Structure 1
Amino acid sequence: MVEEEAEGMVMMRRSGPYERVARMASGNAVVVFSVSGCCMCHVVKRLLLGLGVGPTVYELDQLGKGGREIQAVLSHLLSAASPSPSTSVSAAAVPAVFVGGQLLGGVDKVMSCHINGSLVPLLKQAGALWL
C-alpha cells in the first residue's frame, strides 16, 4: 500500500507540469507560449494578430522557475510531434502554439498551415475567428 502511494506521488509530480501546460493551453481558443525577445515568437504573434486573432500569450521568461519547467514540457511535446529527428530541442521549445487546446506546433508548422491555407479554417473551427 505504501509503495503504491509512493508511486502515485511520483506520477503526480511528474505529470504536474504537463497538467499545467494542458490547463494553460485550453484556457483560450489560441494560446502561444513565447519568450520575450525571440524573433520567431514575435513572427507568430504578429501573424495571429494580423489575422484578427487575440491569442493568450505566456512569456515563459517572465514566469521564473515555472517558465523553465513549462519550456521543458513544450520542448518534449514539440520534439515528439516533429517529423524530423534532426530538429534542435532547444530551438523547438518556443514558440509553441495551441489551437482549440491542441498543439498545433512551432513557427514552422504555423507558417506551413498559413501558406497552405489550413490555418484560417483551424482558427475558425476553434472559435478564434468568426469571418
Structure 2
Amino acid sequence: MRGPYERVARMASGNAVVVFSVSGCCMCHVVKRLLLGLGVGPTVYELDQLDRGVADIQAVLSHLLASTSPAAASGASGSATASAVPVVFVGGKLLGGVEKVMSCHINGSLVPLLKQAGALWL
C-alpha cells in the first residue's frame, strides 16, 4: 500500500494548506469556511470528484487519522468513510480532522501554525 501513501504525501505537500474533503460533507464545509475566513486559500481535494484511487486515498487518510486520534482508533467517530474527511494538512504535515482544526482554532494555535507554514502573512 506504499503507492497510495506516497500519493497522499505528494498531494498533501503541494500547498501550505491542503484539505481532503467530500463535496456534500457539512464538516468539510465548516473547515473550508473557517480557513477561507482566516484568509487562507487551501488546496481542496474533493474525494468524490477524483477520477481514480479514491478508496485507497480514503484508506490512507483513515489510517493517518486513526494513528493520531484515540477516538478515531476506537471507531467512536462513525464509519470509516465519514471519519476520513475532512483531513487537513498544514505545511505538508497532518494537522487532523475537524475536531483538531476547531480545537487549534479555539485554543489560539491555528493561526501561528498557518503563519509558520506560509499560509498567512498577517
TM-score normalised by the chain length of structure 1? 0.86
**1:80 and 2:67 aligned:** yes
Alignment check: 8 A CA contact 1:61 1:68 kept:
no
Q: Give 3-state SS (helix, strand or coil) of 1:80's partner.
A: helix
Bigger shift: residues 74-83 or 110-119: 74-83
Identify the residue that residue 108 of structure 2 maps to in structure 1: 117
Q: Give 3-state SS (helix, strand or coil) of 1:72's partner.
A: helix
Q: Give 3-state SS (helix, strand or coil) of 1:36's partner.
A: coil
Deviations 1:42-90 (A, max 9, x none): 0000000000000000000111341221111101110111022234333
Identify the residue that residue 89 of structure 2 maps to in structure 1: 98
* Alignment: residue pair count: 118
Between 1 and 2, higher relative CO (CA 8 Å, sep ≥ 6) is seen in 2
Q: Give 3-state SS (helix, strand or coil) of 1:64's partner.
A: coil
Higher alpha-carbon Rg: 1
User: Which of the pair is proportionally richer in helix?
Assistant: 1
Q: CA deviation at 1:98?
A: 0.1
Query: 2-side partners of 1:126 and 1:117: how far apart?
Result: 16
TM-score normalised by the chain length of structure 2? 0.92
Q: Where does structure 1 lack aligned partners over 5 or more consecutive residues?
A: 1-13
Identify the residue that residue 8 of structure 1 maps to in structure 2: none
The alignment yields a C-alpha RMSD, in angstroms, of 1.0
